[in-house]
Amino acid sequence: MLATQLKYDLLMFSRELFYLVFTIVVPPVTYIFMGQLFGDQTYAGNLSYAQTYTPSYILLITFTTVFFAFGFDQVTHRTTGVEKRIRLSPVSKSTLLLSSIIRSVIITSFGYLFVYAIGMLLYDLQFHALNFITAYGFFIVLNAVLLVIASVIYSFFNEVKSALVFSIVIFQVVIFTGGFAFPISMMPKFIQIIADFNPLYHMNNLFIAVWNDRLIVDSGALISICYISCLVIAALIILHFSNKRQI
Amino acid sequence: MTIINVSNLKKAYGANVVLKGLDFQAQEGEIIGVIGKNGAGKSTFLEILMTIKQYDAGTVFVFDEDIKALSTNRLEQVRKQISVVLQPTQFYQTLKVQELLRLFKAYYKSPIDIETIIADFKLQPHRKKHFDKLSGGWKQIVSLAIAFLSQPKLLILDEPTTGLDPHMRNILWTYITDYNERTGGTVILTTHNMDEIELYCDKVMLIDNGLNEIFDTTEGILASGYTSVNAFYLEKVSI
């Protein structure tokens, strides 16, 4: 059953132009474009563009996939009545959830490899097997974190329109305050303050550190880990109560 | 055998009390029409029977199970025996008709061949169309085809013929009555078409002011002096 559900989940994703553009097209194109502009610069920690922005754009693909194809999809199904019809079918909630999670992992992993390949081809990104495996493992953890947060956020929406507006606005906010466009230290003060509250900013910093084998558990990393952990715990508590059976 | 037994069912949405103590029974093999004006609580009542809506008070037994006391697993077992056509009909929009049928065949672990269903419901010209590209009538037919995939003991239909042309309505009713005769399955449906009630239903329940004002056989209603179920409805229900 899981294989069948997954097959159709992937098929549905591939047919949604909106999802494809925001997940598979926009982040890699932006990665290439920014690389052409700033590829020769050196970034925090004496890292190259590829070392800094390859993990960033992989994370961006993960964010867009999880928020658009997982979260936004939930709202669409809930508001159009699809969720109600599926709920009346003898397919377990866990099968549907697991299929959604695997779908997200497959799509984001594709994005991971895609951006990685672009980095190697265009920006002299080096491949180190052990580092690749460590970074991929951490990427899966970030995937799970985003899935939990997206599930909670989109559970509050009862209209597709408002969810769509939210998704587009949050995409912009994440781009500018997550460190995906320019280094946050170069941004105005108010952007830096907003960035501190943006979990993607913290995830991005951690992912860059893991990617480059430079994760040191200092106060900055601890704050990031604690902040993300608190958000996940809060999200899980909300999910627990909202998922309680209604009858 | 009693399939559904509802007693003193109450349901309110905030201050709006929709069901005020409704009683209802359905026996195996019956076709029961639920009628009432818009907003009377017909869909709410059906959704409670479908086990997807909470209610405030009363008891609802489906297949001898008190649905309020059921575990999630047991509830899934009960739902396996129920099939529905909702109003409005919605499925995954970007899947094609034949893909939807295959997906639901997997959900219900149905032994029915998809090609048979496609042929029976005359879906051949539409099998490769995406669900959201179908007209309202064809969406209803697809929904009904999916409902029959599960070979249900109980079929619940919320305004199944709304938006269908006479031919489509005829096809749909042929399937419903055939299913009923062949399997002894119980059918509960809402409709605003009183001719359908008169032609096909064994019993009628009129919901008015949150109560089952009338719950009788179609023959019983006609025998009480009404020329048609439509005349009965017009007299009993004010605008």
* B184 and A CB contact within 8 Å: no
> Is residue B137 over pLDDT 90?
no
State the pLDDT at residue A220. Answer: 85
Looking at chain A, which residue has its C-alpha nearest residue B146?
A: A89
**Is the CB of A89 less than 8 angstroms away from the CB of B92?**
no
pLDDT band of A10, cuts 50, 70, 90: very high
Cα dihedral A101, A107, A109, A115 sign? negative
Of A82, A89, A247, the CB nearest to B51: A247
**Is the CB of A88 less than 8 angstroms away from the CB of B92?**
no
- Lowest-confidence range among A109-123, A162-176, A233-247, B209-223? A233-247
| ipTM score of complex | 0.79
DSSP secondary structure, B27-86, as one string? ETT-EEEEE-STTSSHHHHHHHHTT-S--SEEEEEETTEEGGG--HHHHHHHHHTEEEE-
Q: How many CB pairs under 8 A join A and B?
A: 70
State the pLDDT at residue B237. Answer: 82
Residue with tokens 């508001």: A79
Residue with tokens 């754009």: A57
Beta strands in B113-202 (DSSP E): 154-158, 186-190
* A12 and B CB contact within 8 Å: yes
Cα dihedral A117, A118, A119, A123 sign? positive
pLDDT in tens, A79-133: 888 888 888 888 888 888 889 889 989 998 998 999 999 999 999 888 888 888 9
**Is the CB of B84 less than 8 angstroms away from the CB of A246?**
no
State pTM to two decimals.
Answer: 0.81
State the pLDDT at residue B29. Answer: 92
pLDDT band of A247, cuts 50, 70, 90: very low
